[in-house]
Amino acid sequence: MNHFSGDLPSDIANITVLKLLNVHNNYITGDIAPQLGALVNLEQLDLSRNSFTGKIPWSFGNFSYLNKLILNNNLLTREIPKSIRNLQELTFLTSLTSLNISYNNFSSPTLVTPFF
């Protein structure tokens, strides 16, 4: 734990060579910036155990190499984006091997079908 607080700067999306972004277990608040979807080389994204609010950005469907998406223990709401929810139709995120979105406040049903 680093005790980071406040919003996660959207300028992080300018580091397009970034492969791992892990800020878990801090005090980061606010919406997850849709600009993070520009991190097309990202392999692991862990934003867990913070206080992110709002929704998972649709732009997360841009992650071609992502194998771990960890967003558990936040305050995320609204529906889970179709790009994650309809796993049987998933044509992107084909490298995804680990997905944890538990302990949030989503309004959509649980994931339809397991894919691992």
Let me know: does 65 contact 41? Beta carbons within 8 Å: yes
Alpha carbons within 13 A on the beta-carbon side of 57: 17
Q: What is the residue-level pLDDT of the chain in tens, covering all 116 positions?
A: 688 999 999 999 999 999 999 999 999 999 999 999 999 899 999 999 999 999 999 888 788 888 999 999 999 998 777 766 544 444 556 678 888 999 999 885 555 444 44
| pLDDT (0 to 100) of residue 99 | 87
Instruction: Quickly tell me which residue has 């079908």 as its tokens.
Output: 113
Residue carrying the six token digits 């300028």: 11
Sequence-distant (≥ 6) Cβ neighbours of residue 111 within 8 angstroms: 80, 84, 85, 87
Residues 6+ apart with CB under 8 A from 84: 56, 60, 69, 93, 99, 101, 111
> How much is the pTM?
0.84
CA dist., res. 94 & res. 90, Å (int): 7
